Amino acid sequence: MRGLKSLALMLGCFIAPVNAAEQSAPHSPGPLPDIRQSGFIYCVNGILNTFNPQMASSGLAVDTLSAQLYNRLLDVDPYTYRLIPELAQSWEVRDGGATYIFHLRRNVSFQRADWFAPTRKMNADDVVFSFGRVFDPQHPYHEINGGHYPYFDSLRFDDAVESVRKLDNYTVEMRLKTPDASFLWHLATHYAPVLSAEYADTLSKSGNQEQIDRLPIGTGPFTLSEYHTGQFIRLARNDAFWKGKPRMSQVVIDLGAGGTGRLSKLLTGECDVLAYPAASQLSILRDDPRLRLTLRPGMNVAYLAFNTRKPPLDNVDVRRAIAYAINNQRLMQSIYYGTAETAASLLPRASWAYDDDARISEYNPQKSRDLLRQLGLTNLSLQLWVPSASQAYNPSPLKTAELIQADLAQVGIRVNIIPVEGRFQEARLSDLSHDMTLSGWATDSNDPDSFFRPLLSCAAIQSQTNLAHWCEPGFDSLLHKALLSQQLSQRIEDYQDAQKILEEQLPILPLASSLRLQAYRYDIKGLVLSPFGNASFAGVYRDAGEQDGTNDPDAGPKTQPQTESTP
């Protein structure tokens, strides 16, 4: 069995090559049982830079792993879109939304691993540590592994939070400098896990603080067992999970194939679940009696971001000319095949602040040519940066880029497509060298603030989530005003005013809001697809009666959703 040192070397640099040979789990007595008898294989395309979603801007750590390794204070019901308790059993809102009191659930165990053995249950110290690390620049762990917390940095919570303090072992107070009606929703995102303060103290004593984000310890249903860069992640069941023993003893997250390769694995049974299948594959998936397909509305948007700091895209008329040239209906037909709707706004239609009067940019190539001619830009050449991996909001980014390239060629704009991925993309986008980038956003919050501030606030430029590098004080002022009111009607009015500014200045061009798709083998049961990101795999099981799978004989009762109501 490989010990802690071996696994630490594997995880020490996520982009380093790792031996692909099968290895036994670092905290198990031997190899886990055959996956067909004890677990399932989840196939997804993506890059992993950290296991801690606090430090991620998107991707596997947030979309897939967070719900398996960690829990949050609050959760979002995937059917009612309401806040529900998780590690906080109840909460109180005081001072008009400036003070929040959380009453924590008792008898919640942290995971036990080869690299850490907890001696106590989760309590207020863990919550204070987890959020103090993010919000307090003086916190001893704030700068560990870079000190960047993209989601919360874009919201400027380091300036907004006055204190996070323990009132007793199971009560935590969070006090803000001004009221914030969206605060609870941000704490319910997968970016806000509760970490172990005891684990952090242990790492500090040994001088290994950086391991906290590489060798994760949470309260979630599964623990990290094995990781091979770019190939697979193996998760092992947390037998002490506070909601009840997960039904399957392991989950393998296959990272090793993209596109048609992942589809082939699903058809041959090498994958049990295919995350984000391409919309063009739907007919194949629907026609195969061995497969099932789930579609749900998603809280996401795909968009084209213009680098508003770089000429000539610092001119709104140039941005508008590009928008006139893009045939959005062709994108809908060629990329989404009926699984998305044209985005008329940065907000998806499911958002309670969606403006029904919002209108998409007109497709009019002649207007585009005329405008470019008036601007003296008849021979324009631009670079378009494009992520290579499929996402919840765009199953085929490179094909989308090629369609945009063809559209812009019709109006005399040459586009050079540059595929990028992972940290390389983040670094290059931050140095302002790009002209445009194809991107998107998916959130597990129904509050409009989770779209507007992370993507387009001035603060989000520094946190590298504002890819347009656009800063408009009037827009920021409206967003701040919307947070001060607990009246939904007032907040809707403020957000619709903010959307009008975006229509006028066009720092980004919204393209599509996509349905969330997930395909899986017929014998896989209990898989919940949420509009807000991946749900826990704790309730997933294999039905022996459907195919030649076998249920885990020692699995406990199926995990039930929480039934407490919000206060």
Domain coordinates of the chain in residue numbers?
4-252, 300-515
* Cβ count near 106 (within 10 Å): 12
Characterize the bridge pairing of strands 381-387 and 436-442: parallel
Topology classification of domain 300-515 = Dipeptide-binding Protein; domain 3 (3.10.105)
Higher pLDDT among residues 81 and 241, named by residue: 241
Provide the phi-psi class of 147: left if phi over 0, else alpha when psi is between -120 and 50, else beta.
left
Closest alpha carbon to 384 in 310, 476, 490? 310
Mean pLDDT calculated for residue range 522-534: 83
DSSP string, 452-476: HHHHHSSHHHHTT--TT----HHHH
pLDDT confidence of residue 254: 93
Respond yes or no on whether the N-terminal peptide bond of residue 312 is cis (omega within 30° of 0). Answer: yes
Three-class SS of 382-428: EEEEEECCCCCCCCCHHHHHHHHHHHHHCCCCEEEEEEECHHHHHHH
Q: Is the pLDDT of residue 548 over 50?
A: no
pLDDT band at residue 12, thresholds of 50, 70 and 90? Answer: very low
pLDDT of residue 547: 52
Any idea which residue has 């019709």 for tokens?
A: 410
d(CA 37, CA 39): 6
pLDDT at 13 over 60: no
Does domain 4-252 sit in CATH 3.40.50.2300?
Answer: no
The closest of 162, 393, 385 to 299, measured between CA atoms, is 393
User: CB neighbours (10 Å) of residue 328?
Assistant: 22
Query: What is the structure's pLDDT at 443?
Result: 80
Separation CA 244–CA 152 (nearest Å): 31
Question: What sign does the CA torsion over 144, 147, 151, 155 have?
Answer: positive
Residue 261 has pLDDT above 90, yes or no: no
The pLDDT-based confidence of 7 (bands split at 50, 70, 90) is very low
Give 511's contacts (C-beta < 8 A, 6+ positions apart): 301, 302, 303, 304, 326, 328, 331, 342, 343, 394, 400
The angle, 0 to 180 degrees and rounded to 10, between the axes of the packed helices 197-206 and 124-135 is 70
Q: How confident is the model at residue 564 (pLDDT cuts 50, 70, 90)?
A: very low
Contact by Cβ (8 Å): 515, 363: no
Q: Is 506 left (phi over 0), alpha (psi -120 to 50) or beta?
A: left
Instruction: Give the model's pLDDT for residue 27.
Output: 38
- What's the pLDDT score for residue 349? 83
Q: Which pLDDT value is given to residue 361? A: 79
pLDDT above 60 (res 122): yes
Quick one: pLDDT at residue 430? 56
Which segment of 219-223, 368-372, 421-425 scores lowest on mean pLDDT? 421-425
Query: Does pLDDT of 258 surpass 70?
Result: no
Q: Which of 10-14, 38-42, 201-205, 517-521 has the lowest mean pLDDT?
A: 10-14
Distance CA 309, CA 471 (A): 10
pLDDT at residue 475 tops 60: yes
Which has more confidence, 11 or 156? 156
Q: In 3-state terms, what secondary structure has residue 361?
A: coil
Q: Please state which of the ranges 19-33, 193-207, 449-463 shows the lowest mean pLDDT.
A: 19-33
Residue 18's pLDDT is: 31
Predicted local confidence at residue 294, as pLDDT = 87
Output the pLDDT for position 168. 98
* Contact predicate 232/251, CB 8 Å: no
| Strand (E) or helix (H) holding 134 | helix 124-135
- CA–CA distance, 447 with 199 (Å, rounded to integer): 33
Whole-number pLDDT of residue 257: 65
Q: What is the pLDDT of residue 427?
A: 52
> Cβ–Cβ contacts within 10 Å for residue 487, how many?
10
Asked if residue 195 lies in contact with residue 211, where contact means CB atoms within 8 angstroms, the answer is no
C-alpha angle 339-340-346 in degrees, rounded to nearest 5: 160
Cα–Cα distance measured from residue 401 to residue 406, given in angstroms and rounded to the nearest whole number: 9
Q: Do domains 4-252 and 300-515 have the same CATH topology?
A: no
Distance CA 208, CA 486 (A): 44
**CA dist 111 → 68, 496, 559 (Å):** 11, 44, 17
Q: Which of 150-154, 377-381, 498-502, 554-558 has the lowest mean pLDDT?
A: 554-558
Residue 158 has pLDDT above 90, yes or no: no
Contact criterion met (CB below 8 Å) for 335 and 396: yes
Tokens for 138? 């003086």
Average pLDDT over residues 187-214: 96
If DSSP codes are grouped into helix, strand and coil, which group holds residue 249? coil
**pTM score, two decimals?**
0.77
Q: What is the dihedral of CA 13, 16, 22, 27, to 10 degrees?
A: -10
Query: Residue 502 — φ and ψ, nearest 5°?
Result: -65, -40
Our separate counts of H helices and E strands in the chain read 20, 22
- Can you tell me the distance from the alpha carbon of 504 to that of 74, in angstroms, rounded to the nearest whole number? 36
- Averaged over 259-282, what is the pLDDT? 85
pLDDT band for 560, please (50, 70, 90 cuts).
Answer: very low
Residue 555, pLDDT > 60, answer no
**Each residue's pLDDT tens digit, 289-347:** 999 998 887 888 999 999 999 999 999 999 999 999 999 999 999 998 888 888 988 99
Q: Are the CB atoms for 504 and 470 separated by under 8 Å?
A: no
Poorest-confidence range of 153-157, 180-184, 206-210? Answer: 153-157
pLDDT of residue 154: 83
pLDDT attached to residue 302: 95
In 315-377, the DSSP E strands lie at 340-342
* Burial per residue of 115-131, b for 16 or more beta-carbon CB atoms within 10 angstroms, e otherwise: bbebeebbbbbbbbbbb
* pLDDT, greater one: 36 or 311: 311
Task: Specify the higher pLDDT residue, 308 or 157.
Answer: 308
Residue type at 273 in one-letter notation = V
91-118: pLDDT as tens digits = 999 999 999 999 999 999 999 999 999 9
> How many Cβ atoms from other residues are within 10 Å of residue 96's Cβ?
12
Q: What span, in angstroms and rounded, lies between the C-alpha atoms of 229 and 210?
A: 18
Note whether 281 and 287 are within 8 A (CB).
no
Over residues 34-41, mean pLDDT: 84
Nearest-angstrom CA–CA distance, 326 and 94: 48
- In this prediction, residues 485-490 reach a mean pLDDT of 86
pLDDT reading at 8 higher than 50: no
